Structure 1
Amino acid sequence: MAKAYTQNEFDMLMEKVEKVDIRVKNYLEEAGRDKWARIYAPVNRAWTMTSNIAESINSSFVEVIPSTEYVHTVIDQGWRFIVCIEKKNCSCKEFQMEEIPCPSA
């Protein structure tokens, strides 16, 4: 949930935490979402970098459908993302928040 890029993803993960132990959810809420959740951070945390060989392997199985020179529809394991290289954004929100291309881009 700390790495969630969308409000829906964050809410879904918080519901899972609540089902496991409401005290954990309450603790996290009291700490302040802006201190630990990416979508509530007051600044972009582009310095957070991860590397995963599985992401590299999975990227070879992605279907890309160009709409224009800069806008592409990317279908990855049933998920559909719209990527605009010119504006440096993706519908997954990761590209905008990390300020580096997401796997879809």
Structure 2
Amino acid sequence: MLDDDGYPTEEALKRIADWPWRDALGMLAFVRDLWRYPNFWTQEGGRLSVSTGGWSGNELLIAAMQRNIGFWKLCWHQSTRGGHYTFDLSRVRGMEGEG
């Protein structure tokens, strides 16, 4: 779901923003497939750290994740200068499929 220049499409960004928060891990897998510079995406245990690398396409993905209010409130842990974000995934493990 990337355009000809390698940027996430509006459709992809809307899909991320509207993704059910109970499937946060599914959303993150989708975002990771679109993320440029995958070496700036590290997950250790229940902690996910990502950096945009200054690329505006990754910043668009972060903005779409931020518009996903349920995910952001549940998982966002920290943002630091330079496009670095940390998410706490410990609260979403095992939630997939819960009604």
TM-score, normalised on structure 1? 0.24
Structure with greater Cα Rg: 1
Q: Which has the larger helix fraction?
A: 2
Larger RCO (CA under 8 A, 6+ residues apart): 2
